[in-house]
């Protein structure tokens, strides 16, 4: 594999990573807003998803949650997962006041941190 081929592959991966991160940040913002402002049967699932993306060790993600929400919401969740796959940034850091807002959602929806966290 030549240097030009390697450089082209790196540039392609970088572009994919950037696009996924941008889409994931927008999706995360939409999900966070729902968890902050709405109160329906789907919102606790969104809150658990946001908590898992914030701290996957403390809040485990049940992938079947993707099947229990509307298509638009699950699409946003998948966009977030794609952004996390690329690992450019923690999604909450891309949202204004993201850390405090996610922690408030965790509290609002009664999610419990494991002992010692």
pLDDT at position 117, please?
58
| Selected residue with higher pLDDT from 5 and 15 | 15
b/e 28-53 (16+ beta carbons within 10 angstroms → b): bbbbbebbbeeeeebbbbbbbbbbbb
Asked if 36 contacts 101 with a C-beta cutoff of 8 angstroms, the reply is yes
Q: How far apart are CA 63 and CA 65, in angstroms?
A: 5
> Across residues 85-112, what is the average pLDDT?
95
Asked if 35 contacts 109 with a C-beta cutoff of 8 angstroms, the reply is yes
Give pTM, 2 decimals: 0.90
Q: How far apart are CA 7 and CA 13, in angstroms?
A: 10
Q: How far apart are CA 68 and CA 64, in angstroms?
A: 7
Centre a 10 Å sphere on the Cβ of residue 75 and count the other Cβ atoms it contains. Answer: 14
Structure confidence by residue, pLDDT tens digits, 61-86? 999 999 999 999 999 999 999 999 99
pLDDT at position 2, please?
78
What is the residue-averaged pLDDT of the chain? 92
Asked if 38 contacts 104 with a C-beta cutoff of 8 angstroms, the reply is no
């Amino acid at each position: 594999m030549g240097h030009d081929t390697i450089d082209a592959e790196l540039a392609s991966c970088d572009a994919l990573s950037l696009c996924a991160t941008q889409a994931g940040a927008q999706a995360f913002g939409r999900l966070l807003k729902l968890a902050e402002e709405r109160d329906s049967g789907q919102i606790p699932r969104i809150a658990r998803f946001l908590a898992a993306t914030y701290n996957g060790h403390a809040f485990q993600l049940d992938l079947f949650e993707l099947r229990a929400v509307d298509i638009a919401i699950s699409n946003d969740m998948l966009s977030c997962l794609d952004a996390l796959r690329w690992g450019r940034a923690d999604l909450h850091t891309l949202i204004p006041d993201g850390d405090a807002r996610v922690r408030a959602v965790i509290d609002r929806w009664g999610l419990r941190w494991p002992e010692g966290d």
